[in-house]
């Protein structure tokens, strides 16, 4: 049985030849393909770097699509680099003018990989990404709560007309303290909010601090969410602020910056604020016309005191209309309002103080006090203080007055925690009663509330904690009143302790929030009752520093890097309040039991504390307040000590 087999020899030979020819042609393009791969790989890398730079400049997060594209790019570049690393060896394998290879199979596989890599790089390089980043929006704040302003309408309209002009980028508002500059810029802030452009707001204060201003601006720009922010130098922060303000798509690359209470020239470039942005606006307030010139303000507006009619309208906002209808009181009230010389802060403060008065005798006395006090002082600042001092003089007793003056020990614009303040006031016997924890603390809140209600303190709440602060003009007035008994250099960035001669006779001394590193001089301070050294982080204190402070009642060493207490602290036989919170103290010395009058001990946030001698706490017979929040050390052996308190 036979089988017939037919083979198309010609077709077979032609097919083999065709495949060999195509492979030979493909191999002949290998060198060109490698050159193209190198060029396109470099273009892709450049585009990837440009995209990354843009994300960094705009201080924003990349879109998920862009992040995925970067991942593909990294993979494609790695593959291309791997192929290009063997470029020379693969070319040397070619023969017959590049049409064949000494290892044909290997070369064909390599060529196929090169072509695939070329296609991948080409596709990534040409991909349209659209938007690159989703800008982190400016932290949008609500409008500032503000009672309807009185008497500032004309000045506001003038300021707003300046701000809508394109060629005015910097506006300076100047005038005496308490004249209403801050109220005016609050109006401007709210007006911009209504247009959809939320301003950045920063209070500068007398003791200008670059880090503080950058922190406030950075927080509102969303930069403080970055963990690296706090570690960066001011120069780097300035660059980031500048980039954010220049490239903020959320605000269409425009910004409005309000700087309240400038006392001298500020280098805006040092802060990071670009001044050449034609559509952006910078508004600042100051007490000095010369500062407006130094700041290169394109428009300068003086905020004048109110007219008599405007002043009367503002004054009567806090006075019950029924009281003004009592015969004889209205003319006296008008005279009291005139004594305020159109100063809004004085009008508000004094009207709140006089609002409960319902008799002719009270109003007559108020007018007499204001008139006599005013005549004693020649310059305007002292006239302002004397007028504001009326509210101080009207406080119910000397204890409440002393509570008010005590608040001036803290730095300008400082938020004073109510509970901490009450601790100090109780120990200083400025709040008195029977029961330390209940009656006295309630009395402390009541007295502070009275100071708030008459406009001498301002209340704030943050994260469930109650604070008070002093308006800077009110604080200046308080320091003026207490100048013979207080020595206050808080928040002034001092590098060393002022000479002892300046303060050894003072009753209260505040050197808090400075940069003092060494305290070596031993003063004679027999009358010193309060000493604030807190916030001087690197401070070291001579062991004998406290030896002549027998009357010291309140000592605040908080927020310093003290690792151990000076041995001389045991000489403080009258000490009732010791604040060590936020220090790096490692051990409470047993010798603290010699502080027989100690009523309040604060060791909150003492994360390095590793030892509290047993029975130390229970040996402090007068101890009534022990603050240990976030105190990392708590030995079960000490539990009995704490229970005994």
Q: What is the mean pLDDT of the chain?
A: 82
Q: What pLDDT, on the 0 to 100 scale, is given for residue 25? A: 45
Q: What is the pLDDT of residues 325-366, one digit of tens each?
A: 999 999 999 998 988 878 888 888 888 888 888 899 999 988
201 is written with which tokens? 């707001």
- The predicted model gives 290-308 an average pLDDT of 91
Mean pLDDT of all residues in 103-127:
73
Q: Which two tokens stand for residue 296?
A: 């290169």
- Do the strands 600-602 and 625-627 form a parallel or antiparallel pair, or are they unpaired? parallel
Residue 103 has pLDDT above 90, yes or no: no
SS3 574: coil
* DSSP result, 327-382: TTHHHHHHHHHHHTTT-HHHHHHHHHHHTT--SHHHHHHHHHHHHHHHTT--SHHH
pLDDT, position 420? 96
Q: Is the pLDDT of residue 301 over 80?
A: yes
Work out the average pLDDT over 208-237: 88
pLDDT in tens, 163-186: 988 889 999 999 878 889 999 999
429 by DSSP, 3-state: which? coil
Q: Where are the beta strands (DSSP E) in 452-553?
A: 458-462, 465-469, 486-488, 508-510, 518-519, 530-532, 540-541
Determine what percent of the chain is predicted with pLDDT higher than 70: 81
Beta carbons of 572 and 595 less than 8 angstroms apart: yes
DSSP letters spanning 17-45: HHHHHHHHHHHHTHHHHHHHHHHHHHHHH
Q: Virtual CA dihedral for 619, 625, 627, 633, nearest 10 degrees? A: 20
- Confidence at 618, pLDDT banded by 50, 70, 90: confident
pLDDT of residue 61: 61
DSSP 94: E
Cα atoms found within 13 Å of the Cα of residue 292, Cβ hemisphere only: 19
Of the candidates 464, 463, 444, 462, the residue with the CA atom closest to the CA atom of residue 452: 444
400: CB partners within 8 A, 6+ apart: 447, 450, 451
Domains of the chain: 11-134 (no CATH), 153-302 (3.40.50.300), 308-393 (1.10.8), 398-474 (1.10.10.10), 484-645 (3.80.10.10)
387-408 tens-digit pLDDT: 678 788 888 889 999 999 999 9
Neighbours of 129 (CB within 10 A): 12
Q: Assign 376 a pLDDT band (cuts: 50, 70, 90).
A: very low
Q: How confident is the model at residue 601 (pLDDT cuts 50, 70, 90)?
A: very high
Euclidean distance between CA atoms 602 and 585, whole angstroms? 12
Contact call for residues 522 and 548 (beta carbons, < 8 A): yes
DSSP 251-315: GTT--EEEEEEE-S---HHHHT--S--TT-EEEEEES-HHHHHHTT-SEEEE-PPPPHHHHHHHH
- pLDDT at residue 285 is higher than 90: yes
> Residue 594: what pLDDT?
92
Average pLDDT over residues 398-427: 95
Q: Is the pLDDT of residue 72 over 90?
A: no
Mean pLDDT of 445-456: 88
Helix (H, G, I), strand (E, B) or coil at 93: helix
Question: For the segment 511-529, what is each residue's pLDDT rounded down to a tens digit?
Answer: 999 999 999 888 889 999 9
pLDDT tens digits along 39-56: 888 887 887 777 776 666
Tokens of 162: 């300046």
The token pair at 441 is: 């603390």
pLDDT, mean of residues 234-254: 80
Q: Reduce the DSSP state of residue 211 to 3 states and report it.
A: helix
- Crossing angle of helices 104-126 and 9-28, rounded to 10°: 60
pLDDT digits (tens, 9 = 90+) for 529-548: 999 999 999 999 999 999 99
């Amino acid at each position: 049985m036979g089988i017939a087999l037919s083979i198309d020899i010609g077709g077979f030979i032609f097919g083999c030849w065709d495949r060999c020819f195509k492979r030979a042609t493909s191999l002949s393009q290998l060198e060109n393909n490698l050159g193209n791969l190198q060029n396109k790989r470099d273009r892709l890398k450049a585009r990837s770097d440009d995209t990354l730079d843009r994300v960094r400049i705009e201080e924003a997060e990349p879109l998920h699509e862009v992040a995925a594209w970067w991942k593909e790019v990294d993979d494609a570049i790695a593959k291309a680099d791997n192929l290009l690393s063997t470029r020379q060896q693969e070319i040397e394998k070619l023969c017959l003018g590049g049409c064949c290879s000494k290892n044909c199979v290997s070369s064909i596989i390599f060529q196929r990989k090169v072509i695939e890599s070329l296609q991948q790089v080409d596709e990534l390089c040409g991909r349209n990404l659209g938007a690159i980043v989703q800008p982190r929006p400016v932290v949008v704040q609500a409008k500032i709560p503000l009672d309807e302003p009185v008497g500032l309408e004309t000045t506001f309209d003038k300021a707003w007309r300046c701000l809508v002009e394109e060629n005015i980028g910097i506006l300076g508002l100047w005038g005496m303290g308490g004249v209403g500059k801050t109220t005016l810029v609050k109006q401007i802030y709210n007006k911009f909010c209504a247009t959809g452009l939320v301003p950045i707001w920063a209070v500068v204060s007398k003791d200008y601090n670059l880090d503080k201003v950058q922190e406030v601006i950075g927080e509102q720009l969303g930069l403080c969410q970055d963990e690296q922010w706090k570690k960066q130098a001011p120069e780097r922060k300035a660059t980031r602020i500048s980039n954010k303000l220049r490239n903020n798509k959320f605000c269409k690359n425009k910004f409005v910056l309000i700087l309240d209470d400038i006392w001298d020239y500020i280098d805006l470039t040092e802060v990071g604020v670009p001044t050449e942005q034609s559509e952006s606006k910078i508004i600042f307030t100051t007490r000095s016309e010369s500062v407006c010139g130094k700041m290169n303000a394109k428009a300068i507006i003086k905020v004048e005191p109110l007219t008599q009619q405007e002043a009367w309208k503002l004054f009567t906002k806090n006075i019950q209309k029924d009281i003004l209808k009592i015969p004889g009181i209205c003319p006296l009230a008008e005279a009291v309002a005139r004594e305020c010389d159109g100063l809004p802060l004085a009008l508000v403060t004094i009207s709140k103080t006089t609002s409960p008065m319902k008799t002719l005798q009270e109003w007559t006395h108020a007018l007499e006090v204001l008139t006599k006090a005013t005549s004693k002082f020649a310059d305007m600042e002292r006239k302002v203080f004397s007028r504001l001092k009326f509210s101080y003089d009207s406080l119910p007793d000397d204890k409440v007055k002393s509570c008010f003056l005590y608040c001036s020990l803290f730095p300008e614009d400082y938020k004073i925690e109510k509970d901490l303040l009450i601790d100090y006031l109780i120990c200083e016997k400025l709040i008195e009663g029977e029961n330390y924890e209940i009656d006295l603390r309630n009395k402390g809140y009541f007295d502070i509330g009275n100071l708030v209600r008459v406009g001498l303190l301002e209340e704030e709440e943050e994260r469930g904690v109650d604070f008070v602060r002093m308006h800077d003009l009110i604080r200046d007035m308080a320091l003026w009143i207490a100048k013979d008994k207080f020595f206050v250099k808080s928040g002034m960035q001092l590098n060393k302790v002022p000479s002892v001669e300046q303060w050894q006779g003072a009753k209260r001394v505040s050197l808090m929030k400075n940069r003092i590193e060494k305290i070596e001089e031993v003063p004679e301070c027999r009358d010193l009752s309060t000493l604030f050294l807190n916030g001087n982080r690197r401070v070291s204190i001579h062991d004998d520093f406290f030896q002549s402070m027998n009357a010291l009642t309140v000592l605040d060493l908080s927020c310093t890097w003290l690792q151990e207490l000076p041995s001389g602290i045991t000489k403080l036989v009258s000490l009732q309040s010791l604040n060590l919170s936020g220090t790096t103290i490692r051990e409470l010395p047993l010798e603290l039991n010699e502080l027989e009058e100690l009523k309040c001990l604060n060791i909150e946030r003492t994360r390095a504390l590793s030892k509290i001698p047993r029975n130390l706490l229970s040996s402090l017979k007068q101890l009534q307040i022990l603050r240990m929040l976030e105190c990392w050390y708590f030995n079960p052996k000490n539990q009995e000590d704490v229970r005994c308190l």
